[in-house]
Structure 1
Amino acid sequence: MKKKHIHTVPFVLTIIAIVLCSCEAHAQQDSQYTQYMYNTQTINPAYAGNRGVFGVTGLYRNQWVGLEGAPETFNFSLNTPVGASERVGLGLNFIQDKAGPASESTVTVDFSYTIPVGERTNLSFGLKGGLNAINVDYSILNIFNPNDALQQFDIDNRLSPVVGIGLYLHDIEKWYVGLSVPNFLETTYYDDSTISNASEKATLYAIGGYVFTLNDNTKFKPAVLGKFVDGAPLGLDLSANFLFYDKFTLGAAYRLDAAVSALAGFQVSERLFIGYGYDYGTQELANFNSGSHEIFLRFEIARGNNDRFLTPRFF
């Protein structure tokens, strides 16, 4: 945006970061989750129903704490297998993002179908569909130049469809890999304005992880997530988590050229899991904030006489 002046340096940095990100990827699908491994359905529809139980998850992320206008994200989802064979999975996602003058809401429905491809291996196909609504309230910006072209705007609302696909291949309890494009429809915002344009492009996600059993009470899972967008730098998340006594998880993660993270989780009961993540930025923006916090909740209910809770899966 041209000739825009705002009172505080932190707010300027926030807007710059938001614009740079939104010009490269579809914002509602590119929400950053440190604990993505606990809710893979958000980025890959093929994961819906994959745990074999009815599950409800909630995640709240407060990014760049202390920075005016910093992003906040709330994610709510549910998923379940359908039918006795549990080959069909259904899911529902709601994502609310807010950053500076922009707020974005996305509602999607997920469908997955799983086929056995080995004695211990399953392959799932997934489809995602829904709607995304973005709202930009220019009135909250403090514009010093009375001739600034942004003065002609008040509130901008846009609605666009979401269509995504995914593949998810996994062993019963040892490893997994996946490929997905949560939304492959490219959307251009502000296209009726000569002031600025933001083209949101499809993001390809690749995930993988392996569970090592170190002893009777300890498991170790290294995992990787890659994000690929045409014209943008590679996004790469590397993580390593330990599971103790099927109850406690402790781990660390590194986001390429962005942040280092600490993760912790506790299986409160067979049904309830609580997770926490903290990010410390490795870029210059870290000088203007005190890091990012993330809280995750997962509640699951077994279907019928399902005994999966006796040996909880680490992904």
Structure 2
Amino acid sequence: MRKIILATVIVAMLLGGKKVFAQQEAMYTQYMFNTLSINPAYAGSRNVLSATTLIRSQWTGIEGAPKTTTFTIDAPMNRKKVGLGLQVFKDKIGIMSTTGLVATYAYRIRMDRASLSFGLQGGISQFRANYTNVQLEPYGPSNDVAFGNNANTNFYNVGAGAYYNSDKFYLGLSSPQLMQNVMPSYTGEQSKNNRQFSHIFLMGGYVLSLNDDFKLKPSFLVKAVKGAPLEGDINANLWIRNVFSVGAQYRTNADVSGMVEFQISPQIRVGYAYDHSLTDLQSYNSGSHEIMLRFELGLDRNRVISPRYF
């Protein structure tokens, strides 16, 4: 019963308050494998055809907790001066779900040992909220008009970013959603109290070679959005012989996480992350789980690629 009550409270907060609704972007612990969805300038930066799937189940044990899936694919074009990418995603929490498609373009300035990219993206997403599915009374439907109609609407958005990277370092600044679309209310009308807010992401990382077998890869991600506190993810991964990686992460005022990665072959990498909540929700859930699968293929005559860290 406590779990049902908690889920109902969470959904009510998400549907009602402007400040709570501000944190809208899907959250990933393995954000370093989901960079294209954060920064459009990342497209083509790995110099190979790269496809990644991330599946996240958050707050396991809470009914209606967030579940997110994203698939991204990108590749360099025109002698690696241009990067093109595509993202498909679905984010679901309680009675609400968002499904979308995003196309990405990046122009890359090649340097001797690094590159600087500027990217743009445009996308469409479908937002649904099944208000009529909320059971407010234990023995039958409720006549509350706030839950009398479902919401179903499409949103269009654009984003921009800049990304600098070398073999050992990267730094990026981006805002994947610049348009502040107004969300529909329970009456099916638009309400200025509920809207999409622009998020700003600052990210960076570095690879420190300890010796031939061990490499340490620290990285960070800072997220800023109006109506929500500044949030930061800080993590470090230790790569062993470019085959196996183990790491840990801290998300400010939210979670601590453990991560493992396996480079199964030069083309295939898999990863898993587990989050333990540090908030009051830890009494109601058994953690969050995230699975990553990446496939890459060299574009030059089936060239086998070497391990890449960013």
CA offsets per residue over residues 287-306 of structure 1, 9 Å max, x none?
Answer: 10100000000001111147
Of residues 216, 220, 229, the one that matches 2:216 is 220
Secondary structure of the 1:303 match is coil
Would you say 1:34 and 2:32 are equivalent positions? no
In the TM superposition, what are the counterparts of 1:226-305 in structure 2 within 5 Å?
226-305=222-301
Cα 1:222/1:38, change in 2 over 3 Å: same
Report the counterpart of residue 60 of structure 1 in structure 2.
55
Report the CA distance shift for 1:52/1:308 in structure 2 as closer, same or farther (over 3 A): farther
- For 1:143, give the aligned amino acid: L
Please, which of 168, 175, 182 is the counterpart of residue 176 of structure 2? 182
- The CA deviation string for residues 60-116 of structure 1, in whole angstroms up to 9 with x for no partner, is 101110100011001011111112x21101000011011100011110001111103
Which residue pairs with 1:132 in the alignment? 125
Report the counterpart of residue 136 of structure 2 in structure 1.
143
Task: Name the counterpart of 2:11.
Answer: 15
Residue 230 of structure 1: how far off its partner (Å): 2.1
> 1:97 — aligned with what?
91
Answer whether contact 1:22 1:199 (CA < 8 A) is retained.
Answer: no
So what's the TM-score if we normalise by structure 1? 0.90
Distance 1:150 1:120, change over 3 A: same
Question: What whole-Å deviation, never above 9, does each CA across 1:179-227 have from its counterpart, x for those lacking one?
Answer: 0000110012125659994222000000011110000011101111001
CA distance in 2, matches of 1:302, 1:7: 48
CA contact (8 A) 2:297 2:305 kept: no
The CA deviation string for residues 162-190 of structure 1, in whole angstroms up to 9 with x for no partner, is 2000100112x111100000011001212
TM-score w.r.t. length of structure 2: 0.92
* Whole-Å separation in 2 of the counterparts to 1:7 and 1:285: 10
Structure 1 counterpart of 2:205, from 209, 212, 237: 209
The number of aligned residues is: 302
Query: Residues of 1 paired with 2:8 and 2:305: CA distance?
Result: 48
The separation in 2 between residues aligned to 1:250 and 1:76, in whole angstroms, is 23
Q: Secondary structure at the match of 1:129?
A: strand
When residues 138 and 220 of structure 1 are mapped into structure 2, their CA distance, relative to the original with a 3 A threshold, is: same
Unaligned runs of 5+ in 2: none
- What residue ranges of structure 1 are gaps of 5+ in the alignment? 1-5
